[in-house]
Structure 1
């Protein structure tokens, strides 16, 4: 009888242990999930998304200068927006790249010693003096003389060697359709980014994302710009955009683009270098 009681006690004890372990396991599993009362899971997810979407850099497109080497109204707006984006990211701040060397349709602004003040230099000076943007988070690109050059040189001088993926592009409303088309085309060329062998025959799937770049576009207002000049510039932008789309349809790789850029483009081709400085932009807008 005592043996039976002993066995019964052992069975009862084991049952209690198993029951407690089962309950503990349920509690642990339930406790590992987000609390519906605190919303902790949602906060974690939001934080993760924010980290994933953090900008690697901000590229602001230059667009002309004043006679004293300053920046015109529309460029100042672009730069102000770039600072707003940079500060929205928190520290460490992503770098701002001011992109622009000058224009083949307007003479350069010179220092008193006759040295060129590049458009990107004017932009960098504005950002540092007005907004106290630290030089450690401010860079400039001065090889470009048009928007196609902005896209190409920021890609090969900054984005690709530095491994940037998530980049903001800032320019004016009148300029944005063509700027966006150029950046999507050039950053999406086969060999341009993180997936050098990838190329899609489906035109709907082409673009910067195909090479691992996530580009976001921020346009600033055209308010205050001379109405007639703005109207003329918008018409000019439409014509140039059509040419961009035609070029993008036939040029798919970095090798093909390199040939196009240095042998067909009027600003960069040695065969066409005599045209440099003889082209006129009557609107003054870039």
Structure 2
């Protein structure tokens, strides 16, 4: 899973988002190559010819692809053995949305999917989530839209180093609540956190300002979730009190952009 990190005003991708995408692409290719190598080894042991990682109808990422017929006459193209990449995020309350050439909102996850498609990842290996506007939403909607219905247990989570402590604190709680409620085991889900480097992204004072904000957010999250026993508690809190999802607070959404420290604004 890749956490959203914003868009440039023209719909382009900030450097920290590109680094996250590159990290996801590397993991995707690595896992696919391992799976294909295992298949090839099994085939050879059974007397078959070796498989080539770049044979046949390649994905453009140096990997073969396979097609599957879906109901309704649709054909899905995927890379055998590759894990799906889940792209998280609709936008942010800290900046207005980007509007595309057709006059529609360009969600972060859609822009990220385009970047990966251009680098040869088949559409069938990409999944979007376009309801979240912050890290809590990233965790909550990734769980309920993808992890639970798909039956996943092992999930890699990719984001920037400056964002990883908050990400881990948030995802750990959300997925533990789900594991407890659905399976009686808070450790049911195995989350593998993969930070990508912040080196050279921001001046030191900007990175320090963002780190302070992240630490404050972690502390607030821990206070808010301390007494939660299951997803019902999280659902109640999220939709009753959270700026991004509560009807009672929807008039506040985006209203405090001018109050955001310019140093912090540079990181969204």
| TM-score, structure 1 as length reference | 0.72
Q: How far is 1:211 from its partner?
A: 4.7
How far apart in 2 are the matches of 1:82 and 1:226? 22
- When Rg is computed on C-alpha atoms for both structures, the one with the higher figure is 1
- 2:109 equivalent among 113, 117, 120: 120
SS of residue in 2 equivalent to 1:127: helix
Change (3 A) 1:262 1:195: closer
Q: How far is 1:106 from its partner?
A: 0.5
- Which runs of no fewer than 5 residues in structure 2 stay unpaired? 33-79
SS of residue in 2 equivalent to 1:196: helix
How far apart in 2 are the matches of 1:93 and 1:68? 32
Pair 1:180 & 2:168 matched: yes
- 2:125 equivalent among 137, 146, 149: 137
SS of residue in 2 equivalent to 1:188: helix
SS of residue in 1 equivalent to 2:255: coil
- Which runs of no fewer than 5 residues in structure 1 stay unpaired? 1-58, 200-209
Who is 2:98 aligned against?
A: 109
The answer as to whether partners of 2:180 and 2:230 remain within 8 angstroms in 1 is no
Q: How far is 1:226 from its partner?
A: 2.1
Change (3 A) 1:215 1:166: same
Where is the helix percentage greater, Structure 1 or Structure 2? Answer: 1
SS of residue in 2 equivalent to 1:103: coil
Moved over 6 A (4+): none
Aligned residues: 215
| TM-score, structure 2 as length reference | 0.77
The answer as to whether partners of 1:64 and 1:75 remain within 8 angstroms in 2 is yes
How far apart in 2 are the matches of 1:101 and 1:93? 25
